[in-house]
Amino acid sequence: MPKKYIVYLKTLWRSWFIILVIIILITALYNPIAAIILAIITIVLFVLSFVPSLFFKNRLLRFLKKYGRIEEKDVIKRFSKDNNKIKTSIFKLSQKQMNKKWLIIFIENHYIFYHEDIVNKFKNYYHQKLGEKEIFEKMNKLEIKTRAEIKIITETLERNGRLYIEKVSSD
Q: What is the Cα–Cα distance from 134 to 126, expressed in whole angstroms?
A: 10
> Residue ranges of the domains in the chain?
2-49, 53-159
- Full-model pTM: 0.66
Confidence of residue 166 (pLDDT cuts 50, 70, 90): low
User: pLDDT tens digit string along 30-52?
Assistant: 998 988 888 898 888 778 877 77
On average, the pLDDT of the chain sits at 81
Confidence of residue 169 (pLDDT cuts 50, 70, 90): very low
